[in-house]
Structure 1
Amino acid sequence: MSTVATRSFHDIRRALLAHEELALIDVREEDPFAQEHPLFAANIPLSKLELEVFARVPRRDTAITLYDDGEGLATLAAARLSALGYSDVALLEGGLAGWRAAGGELFRDVNVPSKAFGELVESERHTPSLAAEQVQALLDAKADVVVLDARRFDEYQTMSIPGGISVPGAELVLRVAELAPNPATQVIVNCAGRTRSIIGTQSLVNAGIPNPVAALRNGTIGWTLAGQQLAHGQQRSFAPVSDTTRASAAGRARAVADRAAVARLTRDGLAAWQAEPHRTTYLFDVRTPEEFAQGHLPASRSVPGGQLVQETDHVASVRGARIVLVDDDGVRANMSASWLSQMGWQVAVLDGLSAADFSEPGDWQAPLPEQPQVNEIDVDQLQTWLQAPGTVLLDFTTSANYVKRHIPGAHWAIRAQLPQVLEHLPVAERYVLTCGSSLLARFAAVDLQALTHTPVYVLEGGTARWIAAGLPLESGETHLAVARSDRYRRPYEGTDNPREAMQGYLDWEFGLIAQLERDGTHGFHVVR
């Protein structure tokens, strides 16, 4: 392709302050991205670009600026985006080093806009909280207290406060009246660290529930640092609520959304927004994935509201875009929208829907480009080939999935690092590529074949097909062709993090407000 245009730090900063639509995309893997990046950078690794970009940057003439840290990935990404039909693609002048040299603020970790916003909320609203020792004392005394875990259910199951109930963030205002029907019951909201505890607690305060409410200060990290024991594998979750509870919660949520200046749209208004050619409009269904699968508005995407507020950059990767939220109860969309509005998004809730509007069953399917044509083999052929030397099997799934289970002898690889991968592989008569479904493997096969004269094949149906056939598996880091940089190890997840890392994470969160002030582009405001 021809020489790619560039945009400077000052170009990006001006566009952010003017609330123009832009996508600033870091195309490195998640771990290097998490080490340092601009506040509103979205991480779409080159390895998975084709699988994610259509959903995350849906409008093909969006102003996209790509960067890396000198690895050459951004130039490759620009060529791929151009081939996919994106027409306004530029490279960040000087890459990450150029941003730093221009005086741009750099942030650590992931989902930083949401986490920084949470710190700002606590600072301005003085969100009530209790220390781990105080909560433990209440539990030991068998006080009238309920602990609500605002994370995803799988996170809750990994580690949680003993006796806690899983109520992901957007569900809190809808469910709390039946989980704590006595107005005197002390409600404690927790997450692993701070953000979802703060936002969940403040949601209940904003909605005016009668109960005393407090965040578990510093979440499960604070609990662990206090020397207290966490539970593992808990199964407590919420039950359906009555119509009376739903109606009351809807009134509270609507009042919060109105205070936050959330817009209202009808189906016709949504269609008008979506028809505007030079604006991006995301349509998110913020109910549970199970409810979405039973029936949803056509063309909507399932993004549970608590995670949407926590990980906005991961789904709405165009800063300055418009977001429309949908539910069937008037609670979860309004509460989620109230936060997005305060985070500087132009956000609306879709009103006037009936049960008939939720007509599309099934899970959300990511929009994808045409899949490349590759040479496929079935499970039986692979099994035969693996019984003799000469076949090198590459697995492009996430490293976490690979460690959990993979086909025996498979080498784990990152698609964007294929030249380095080849240096660490045995001599091959043929390569066979797989991943969970072989979708990513199909794209990797094209890249690999361009680097070698050795025949390249893709396992039809991927590792899932191998597993379904009941064939042997192995686990662990048995054959890593490159380092596991595809995912940043969060200091607040898992059960084996060093105390120093957990405390360091809390210290980092406490410093986010000062970073926001230095950066100056956030556009956040906190509603009283």
Structure 2
Amino acid sequence: MNAIVPPGEPHQSIPQAAYADVRAALLARREIALLDVREEDPHARAHPLFAANLPLARIELDAYARLPRRDASIVTIDDGEGLAEVAARRLLGLGYTDVRVFKGGVAAWRDAGGELFRDVNVPSKSFGELVEARRHTPSLAAEEVQALIDGKADVVVVDVRRFDEYQTMNIPGSTSVPGAELVLRIAELAPDPATQVIVNCAGRTRSIIGTQSLVNAGLPNPVAALRNGTIGWTLAGQALEKGAARRFPEVSDAVLAQARQRARSVADRAGVRRTSLAEIGDWRRQQGRTTYFFDVRTPEEYEAGHLPGFLSVPGGQLVQETEMVAPVRGARIVLADSDGVRADMTASWLAQMAWEVHVVDGVGADELGERGAGRADEAPVPVVQRLSAEGLSHRLAAGEDIVVIDFTTHANYLKRHVPGAWWALRSQLAEALARIPKAARYVLTCGSSRLARYVVPEVEALVDGEVWLLDGGNAAWFAAGLPEEGGESRLASPPIDRYRRPYEGTDNAREAMQAYLDWEFGLVAQLGRDGTHHFEVI
């Protein structure tokens, strides 16, 4: 029996949870993971505030990292598609013991009076709006910033998104300084206290948090967010730069010492707790408490050396996407860095977002003994028949009756795929197979084969032909220099695995960008109606 099949009777009942149960846990700050197991696009259309998106298709890959305690309270939710029960059984099969299905799905949440939110990363975005509303975070309109640049004013523009987002499009002349790096590095970019610092992201949240970070840290410079980010810049009819590569500088000992002092002061005001390497060793063995361990430095620094058992989550993205990596609301979060700045600043925001957050003190180079990118545990892999890229190529060329089914992301499929391959969603497998021609042999693939290997037994149960795995996935096929094609010529499922964000890319409709901003402006009122957040802005 493979790992994706839950133990026990196939029709044993799964306990159910109601709106009152989940709300009571959130209000009491008890640990609970409310998991929206739909694909990202339907999740983004409507979901409860703290419903973390963990698509059914990825449970074997992501559950052990995102749900580290096997007896944590878990509630799966969908919108009546039946995915929540399948996900619950899959989680039980992975060893989780306290799993319930939300009765009636998203519609029942709404009917019970629960607030529903749109978009993704909503806890963080709504918190950002609350910060601006409470602290009146300074900002400048796109036209005002353009005027400063055109007038050659003493101004520095810093982009606090991920570097890959920055490279897609950025404010002309700006420098990439992802959020958690700001307090550490800004004095190197703007050593003169008279220099105006402008902080931008694509929309609002990260620029608000970045600007307020500098204000909270007591930076002497005038600081302002670029109001509405690159969306506001575009709506003002101003041109964006593409392909820029300007990155933050290294810091001197003097700048580091000052940044460390500023960050610690902010962390103390926010109620961040301190911990030691010895204490976190005890927490790893603790029963009945979920603890996440995150290294908030850059991925490059993490790979060069990190604390054992810590996962790489750069601090700016951790604040922006908290529920994506820590879906157990009410859990403990432990942060580490090597400088005493980035962990404290990141923790200061998490504490205000009502997390119990600790920073590890005394981390030296000797403790950063693990190397490499690191990878969390995954579910046991079923035994499957494998076919090499070259072997598949030969069989296709010989005209064998083979259908290739690709479970990569829709975006990756569009870019390139094995010629003739069909694209499908695992969460809609039966429907997809009904659209795909029958064959003597099916070969399943994805980017690396990590996801597709779990789908093999499921396809075997639904078809008459043999089912094989493309060993190494699409990456092996492309690395072998074999033919490829692009486009969406063979879609067996609707492309709903990713929500199209109105602030990403350079080809979004003006109406969509303005609608997104209007939605963000209404988040504070939604927080008030929801009433479960416990956010406290210092």
**What is the TM-score when the length of structure 2 is the normalising length?**
0.97
- Please tell me the residue identity of whatever aligns with 2:424: A
> What per-residue deviation string (whole Å, max 9, x for no partner) do you get for residues 468-512 of structure 1?
111121122121111110000000001111100000000000000
4+ runs of 1 displaced by more than 3 Å? Answer: none
- Please tell me the residue identity of whatever aligns with 2:294: F
- Please tell me the residue identity of whatever aligns with 1:341: A
> The residue matched to 1:439 in structure 2 has which SS?
coil
- Compare 253-262 and 458-467 and name the one that shifted more: 458-467
Partner of 2:439: 428
**Does structure 2 retain, via aligned residues, the 8 Å contact 1:262–1:338?**
yes
Write the distance in 2 (CA, Å) between the matches of 1:499 and 1:379.
Answer: 43
Q: How does 1:159-198 map to 2 (within 5 A)?
A: 159-198=169-208
Given candidates 504, 511, 520, the residue that maps to 2:522 is 511
- Please tell me the residue identity of whatever aligns with 1:438: S
Partner of 2:3: none
Residue 418, structure 1, aligned to residue 429, structure 2 = yes
> What per-residue deviation string (whole Å, max 9, x for no partner) do you get for residues 150-198 of structure 1?
0000000001100010000000000100011111110000000000000
Count of residues paired in the alignment: 527
Partner of 1:141: 151
Query: 1:384 Cα shift?
Result: 1.6
**Does structure 1 retain, via aligned residues, the 8 Å contact 2:293–2:311?**
yes
Query: 1:366 Cα shift?
Result: 2.2
Partner of 2:531: 520
Write the distance in 1 (CA, Å) between the matches of 2:64 and 2:446.
Answer: 21
Q: Percent identity?
A: 64
Q: How does 1:61-76 map to 2 (within 5 A)?
A: 61-76=71-86
Residue 322, structure 1, aligned to residue 322, structure 2 = no
Residue 442, structure 1, aligned to residue 456, structure 2 = no
Write the distance in 2 (CA, Å) between the matches of 1:429 and 1:369.
Answer: 29
Partner of 1:460: 471
Q: How does 1:342-357 map to 2 (within 5 A)?
A: 342-357=352-367
> The residue matched to 2:395 in structure 1 has which SS?
helix
Partner of 1:35: 45
> What per-residue deviation string (whole Å, max 9, x for no partner) do you get for residues 246-290 of structure 1?
111011000000000100001112122222200001000000000
Residue 132, structure 1, aligned to residue 128, structure 2 = no
Q: How does 1:300-379 map to 2 (within 5 A)?
A: 300-379=310-389
Partner of 2:405: 394
> What per-residue deviation string (whole Å, max 9, x for no partner) do you get for residues 44-96 of structure 1?
01111110111001100011001111111111111111111000000102111
Write the distance in 1 (CA, Å) between the matches of 2:537 and 2:137.
Answer: 12
Unaligned runs of 5+ in 1: none
Write the distance in 2 (CA, Å) between the matches of 1:317 and 1:494.
Answer: 27
Seen in structure 2, the aligned counterparts of structure 1 residues 317 and 237 have a Cα distance that, compared at 3 Å, is same
Partner of 1:15: 25
Residue 213, structure 1, aligned to residue 219, structure 2 = no
> What per-residue deviation string (whole Å, max 9, x for no partner) do you get for residues 388-426 of structure 1?
152110111111111111111111111111111112112
Q: CA RMSD in A?
A: 0.8
Write the distance in 1 (CA, Å) between the matches of 2:177 and 2:413.
Answer: 30
**Does structure 1 retain, via aligned residues, the 8 Å contact 2:390–2:480?**
no
**Does structure 2 retain, via aligned residues, the 8 Å contact 1:374–1:458?**
yes
Query: 1:353 Cα shift?
Result: 1.6
- Please tell me the residue identity of whatever aligns with 1:60: R
**Does structure 1 retain, via aligned residues, the 8 Å contact 2:156–2:174?**
yes
Write the distance in 2 (CA, Å) between the matches of 1:240 and 1:371.
Answer: 43
**What is the TM-score when the length of structure 1 is the normalising length?**
0.99
- Please tell me the residue identity of whatever aligns with 1:334: D
Write the distance in 1 (CA, Å) between the matches of 2:439 and 2:286.
Answer: 52
**Does structure 2 retain, via aligned residues, the 8 Å contact 1:413–1:482?**
yes
**Does structure 2 retain, via aligned residues, the 8 Å contact 1:286–1:333?**
yes
Write the distance in 2 (CA, Å) between the matches of 1:517 and 1:43.
Answer: 22
**Does structure 2 retain, via aligned residues, the 8 Å contact 1:286–1:303?**
yes
- Please tell me the residue identity of whatever aligns with 2:67: V
Given candidates 405, 408, 418, the residue that maps to 2:416 is 405
Partner of 1:498: 509
- Please tell me the residue identity of whatever aligns with 1:244: A
> The residue matched to 1:110 in structure 2 has which SS?
coil
> What per-residue deviation string (whole Å, max 9, x for no partner) do you get for residues 434-486 of structure 1?
11110101001111111112110001111111111111211221211111100
Query: 1:369 Cα shift?
Result: 1.3
Write the distance in 1 (CA, Å) between the matches of 2:320 and 2:436.
Answer: 39
Q: How does 1:50-129 map to 2 (within 5 A)?
A: 50-129=60-139
**Does structure 2 retain, via aligned residues, the 8 Å contact 1:390–1:427?**
no
